[in-house]
Amino acid sequence: MSDLQKLYDAILNGDAKTAVAVTKEALAEGADPLEIVTKHMVPAMDEVGQRFECEEYFVPELLLAARAMKGSLELIRPLLVERGAEPAGRVAIGTVKGDLHDIGKNLVASMLEGGGFEVIDLGADVPPEKFVEAIKQRGANLVCLSALLTVTMPAMRTTIEAIRAAGVRDQVKVLIGGAPVTKRYADEIGADGYGESATSAVALARQLVSEGVAR
Amino acid sequence: MTSRERVLAALAHGEPDRIPIDLGGTSVTGIHASVVAALRDYYGLEERLVKVHEPYQMLGLVEEDLQDAMGLDVQGVFPRKTMFGFPNENWKTWRMPDGLEVLVSEKFVTSVEANGDILIYPEGDRSAPPSGRMPNDGYFFDTIVRQEAIDEERLDPSDNLEEFGPITDEDLEHLRRGVTRVRGTGLAVIASFGGTAFGDIALVPAPFLKHPKGIRDVAEWYCSTRSRRDYIHRIFSTQCEYALANLERIYGAIGNAVDVVFVCGTDFGTQTSSFCSAATFRELYFPYYKQVNDWIHRHTGWRTFKHSCGSVERFIPAFIEAGFDILNPVQCSAAGMGAEHLKGSFGDRLVFWGGGVDTQKVLPFGTPDEVRAQVLERCQNFAAGGGFVFNSIHNIQARTPVANVSAMIEAVHEFSARRAGVVHV
């Protein structure tokens, strides 16, 4: 059997080539796809998150690890869908209307994906109705909003208002983040949580899911 | 004291008669055009359209009458070409999405997409792909990344060097004229020559080039600083050779008529951490900054200005060792960047040009009283012993209430007056 410790190491080292090769080999040998994710990939991304938190890893290392993880996940995802495996949660994520800055959002999306969540990445400059659509039609139970600019922060409030007006606010939890955003602002606009970093967003998302919220 | 004497005293770590103020001297210490317009109204200045001299962030030119009204001390000299690769000449009117009419360069060429987004073109050339986008109802442009597929085997550092090379006679003459024009104003002069920022992520996508090649995607660049370090070193090393040769020519043209040089705007900090470790900074960036700063200090009287947003406390000792005299914007809200801590730890060796008020929360969203309180506190933290030029933390953003900006300026003058004993506390 292929050594899946190598997959863990490849993700940790941001080595996409090896991550993909090991995953292919493991799948060909009949390894359980869900186990590859839960026992090797998620722990690897958790370790990446830990190293980021303690400032052993920085943005480049996070990006490289996420690429390795994604390369591997692309091979596994169709198999998981085939068997109807449920993700840890279904997240609709995007930068709010008027905001084109998506580096932070992309990092959070990758970390959530690495944490076992299904990520519906709506991209940048996303109007409120797109989030509503993702909740109604694609079953998102978590919404993550990102803003870098002080002038686009108010779009977080209008997005939450649109979700409420569409009658689906109780189906989702809303997490917000971005350079000028604070916990106080999250409380002010009626968000359910504020993530200071990509890793804290994952912890928060897990916490909300474990509380049995909106699944 | 004249404004220039005031700034020079502060730079020499002496206490000037009052705290010197910069607003508008660089592309990171400026004011959004809409706020410049509001300030002109507030101070009752002659009605005239604001010139957008930096179209990427839509910064408005702070002209002499507004400098006088606000009591500013620093005048900027900017490179001939803007972030979108065109010179500011032959001004024309343009209406911003919020309805404000401003003046822009004739080469400020845009188109509007079906969703209302505004696209802008490099060098004003509509036959090239657009390089900037302002969202419908937006206030700033953001870069459109134009990244060709990367073939690892064919990556060539020279592709990332298209924007670097010997300074042209035209650019040199522009700088010479600019410096000559402002030298007589009595204000301190800060000049941005360009070419000395290594790996500035705002410049990597090259919105000024028509068809950028090499590594131009932001995430790809960050990954490359780790995974293709030799490639990055080769870019920096050639860029540095050009920079040193250009500095020599520039100095030959303007001599010591410039007081401060904006050397580098590469951001190393985030809100809570940094983009790389201190060890990476030492290995990848430090050698080039040291060469540039050493050349400047050996040959000129210029002071060197380093801009980096975010939490950069871990890098400050290396910044100082690399020869940077001035740190900006001094983002006190970021991790480890408390005003008292910075002043106490580095204030005798580094000039803080910024730190005056938070532009993410207090200035745009606070009350004038909250602005005043923070400005007075920051002046208290930073002013003792000189080494402080007041500036908001980065550019004043669109939609910032003019009452808050005026409260900020009044508070700096109030603090200076108190210290001078004009007003007793």
**CB proximity A149 to B under 8 Å:** yes
Comparing CB atoms, the residue among A55, A67, A97 nearest residue B273 is A55
CB B227 to CB A14 under 8 A?
yes
Comparing CB atoms, the residue among B135, B140, B360 nearest residue A125 is B135
Residue type, B263: V
pLDDT digits (tens, 9 = 90+) for A44-99: 999 999 999 899 999 999 999 999 999 999 999 999 888 888 899 999 999 999 99
Taking an 8 Å Cβ-Cβ cutoff, which residues of chain B contact chain A?
A: 117, 133, 135-140, 142, 218-219, 222-223, 225-227, 270-277, 280, 359-361, 364-365, 397-400
**Is the Cβ–Cβ distance between A45 and A69 less than 8 Å?**
yes
Give residue A215's pLDDT band: very low, low, confident or very high (50, 70, 90): very low
Preferred mutation among A59, A101, A183 to probe B, highest tally of B CBs within 10 A:
A59
Comparing CB atoms, the residue among B137, B225, B359 nearest residue A60 is B225
Chain B contact set for A61 (CB, 8 A): 226
CB A60 to CB B360 under 8 A?
no
**Residue B13 covered by a domain:** yes
Helix (H) or strand (E) holding B293: helix B286-299
Q: Which residue numbers in chain B have pLDDT < 50?
A: 423-425
**Residue B108 covered by a domain:** no
Q: Which residue of A has its CA nearest to B142?
A: A100
CA Rg, chain A, in Å?
Answer: 17
- Say whether pLDDT at A213 is over 70: no
CATH of domain A5-83: 1.10.1240.10
Number of domains in chain B: 1
List, as ranges, residues 18-37 from A with C-beta within 8 Å of B.
none
CB B360 to CB A150 under 8 A?
yes
**Residue B281 covered by a domain:** yes
Query: Can you tell me whether residue A125 is helix, strand or coil?
Result: strand
CB B227 to CB A60 under 8 A?
yes
**Strand partners of residue B31:** B396
**Residue B46 covered by a domain:** no
pLDDT at position B425: 38
Q: Which residue of B has its CA nearest to A54?
A: B273
CA Rg, chain B, in Å?
Answer: 21
Q: What six digits make up the tokens of B92?
A: 């024309």
Q: What is the CATH number of the domain that holds B373?
A: 3.20.20.210
Instruction: With CA atoms as reference, report the closest residue to B85 among B141, B137, B29.
Output: B141
CB A58 to CB B273 under 8 A?
yes
- CA dist., res. B132 & res. B146, Å (int): 10
**CB proximity A184 to B under 8 Å:** no
**Is the Cβ–Cβ distance between B343 and B382 less than 8 Å?**
yes
Phi-psi domain of B76 (left: phi exceeds 0; alpha: psi -120 through 50; beta: other): beta
**Number of inter-chain CB pairs under 8 A, A vs B:** 72
Phi, psi of B139 (to 5 degrees): -130, -15
**Residue B85 covered by a domain:** no
**Residue B406 covered by a domain:** yes
**Strand partners of residue B133:** B119, B142
* Burial (CB count <10 Å: 0-12, 13-18, 19+), residue B19: buried
**Residue B401 covered by a domain:** yes
CB A58 to CB B142 under 8 A?
no
Query: Can you tell me whether residue B71 is helix, strand or coil?
Result: coil
Q: Which residue of A has its CA nearest to B116?
A: A98
Chain A contact set for B218 (CB, 8 A): 103
CB A64 to CB B218 under 8 A?
no
CB A55 to CB B364 under 8 A?
no
- CA dist., res. B385 & res. B315, Å (int): 23
pLDDT at position B402: 98
Q: What six digits make up the tokens of B138?
A: 């937006």
CB A100 to CB B142 under 8 A?
yes
Task: Measure in Å the smallest separation between the Cα of A92 and chain B Cα atoms.
Answer: 21
Domain extents in chain A: 5-83, 90-210
Phi-psi domain of B206 (left: phi exceeds 0; alpha: psi -120 through 50; beta: other): left
* Burial (CB count <10 Å: 0-12, 13-18, 19+), residue A161: middle
- Say whether pLDDT at A203 is over 60: yes
Q: What six digits make up the tokens of A120?
A: 């519906």
CB A60 to CB B226 under 8 A?
yes
Preferred mutation among B31, B142, B312, B314 to probe A, highest tally of A CBs within 10 A:
B142
Contacts of B192 (CB under 8 A, 6+ apart): B26, B27, B76, B77, B78, B79, B261, B262
CB A67 to CB B223 under 8 A?
yes
pLDDT at position B105: 98
**Is the Cβ–Cβ distance between B240 and B306 less than 8 Å?**
no
Task: Measure in Å the smallest separation between the Cα of A13 and chain B Cα atoms.
Answer: 10
**Is the Cβ–Cβ distance between B58 and B32 less than 8 Å?**
yes
Chain A contact set for B136 (CB, 8 A): 98
Topology given in CATH for the domain delimited by A90-210? Rossmann fold (3.40.50)
* Burial (CB count <10 Å: 0-12, 13-18, 19+), residue B169: exposed
Residue type, A59: V
pLDDT at position B424: 42
- CA dist., res. A111 & res. A116, Å (int): 9
Chain A contact set for B405 (CB, 8 A): none
CB A197 to CB B225 under 8 A?
no
pLDDT at position B422: 58
**Residue B398 covered by a domain:** yes
pLDDT at position A212: 66
Task: Measure in Å the smallest separation between the Cα of B226 and chain A Cα atoms.
Answer: 6
Mean pLDDT of chain B: 97
pLDDT at position B135: 94
Contacts of B400 (CB under 8 A, 6+ apart): A150, B32, B35, B359, B363, B364
pLDDT at position A108: 93
pLDDT digits (tens, 9 = 90+) for A168-195: 999 999 999 998 899 999 999 999 999 9
CB B361 to CB A180 under 8 A?
yes
pLDDT digits (tens, 9 = 90+) for A1-29: 668 999 999 999 999 999 999 999 999 99
pTM for the structure as a whole = 0.94
Range of the domain at B337: 3-31+64-80+149-420
- CA dist., res. B287 & res. B375, Å (int): 36
